[in-house]
């Protein structure tokens, strides 16, 4: 699948559900795959008793990774040229997450058509947990 620059309109939005119930197991899977074994994300005893949090919370990079699916499912595989985010607030087990992609520009970059996107991921309460941008090659 691929997007065509002529079919894209600045301001158009695509919303994508990422998860309806983020599990602690997903956090454990992310720790194992990424090598980020910070116990804040997988060790509830540590997170509560030693670090003073209500419990474990997601790696920021898990939220960025989950959000990437919304991007690649829409723009296609291997087409991103830039993707960057700020982590705005914590993501907790049980959270529902969805991503909204908004077209901010369709332009030419060194002879290649690209689309610029605003990327926002929110939790079930509507709070932003991640905000960023992406650029992808389009046809």
Partner 1 sequence: MADFSFPVEAGQIMLFARAVGDPNPVYADPVAAAASEAGGILAPPTFVQVAAHYDPDWQLRPEEGKPWFGSGRTASGVTQTEPHGGGPGGGLHAEQHFEYHRHPRPGDVLAVARRPGDTWEKSGRRGGRLVFAEVISEYRDAAGELVITARNVVVRPERTVDAGAAG
Spatial distance between the Cα atoms of 116 and 8, rounded to a whole number of angstroms:
11
Q: In the set 10, 82, 105, 112, which binds partner 1 (CB under 8 A)?
A: 82
Site for partner 1, residues 27 to 56, rule: CB under 8 A: 29-30, 32-43, 45-46, 48-53
Site for partner 1, residues 88 to 127, rule: CB under 8 A: 88-91
Angle 115-96-26 from CA coordinates, rounded to 5° = 95
Residues whose CB is less than 8 angstroms from the CB of residue 39 and which lie 6 or more positions away in sequence, other chains included: 46, 47
Spatial distance between the Cα atoms of 51 and 46, rounded to a whole number of angstroms:
6
In the complex, least distance from residue 104 CB atom to partner 1, rounded to whole angstroms: 16
Q: Point out which residues bind partner 1 (CB under 8 A).
A: 1-2, 18-19, 26, 29-30, 32-43, 45-46, 48-53, 57-66, 68-69, 71-73, 76-78, 80-91, 129-130
């Amino acid at each position: 699948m691929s997007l065509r620059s002529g079919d894209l309109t600045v301001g158009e939005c695509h919303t994508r559900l990422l998860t309806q119930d983020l599990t602690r197991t997903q956090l454990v899977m992310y720790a194992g795959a990424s090598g980020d074994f910070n116990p804040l994300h997988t060790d509830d005893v540590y997170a509560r008793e030693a670090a003073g949090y209500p419990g474990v919370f997601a790696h920021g990079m898990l939220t960025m990774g989950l959000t990437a699916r919304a991007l690649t499912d829409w723009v296609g595989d291997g087409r991103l040229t830039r993707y960057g985010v700020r982590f705005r607030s914590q993501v907790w087990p049980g959270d529902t997450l969805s991503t909204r992609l908004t077209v901010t520009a369709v332009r030419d970059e060194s002879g290649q058509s690209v689309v610029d996107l605003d990327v926002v991921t929110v939790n079930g309460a509507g709070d932003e947990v991640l905000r960023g941008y992406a650029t992808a090659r389009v046809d």
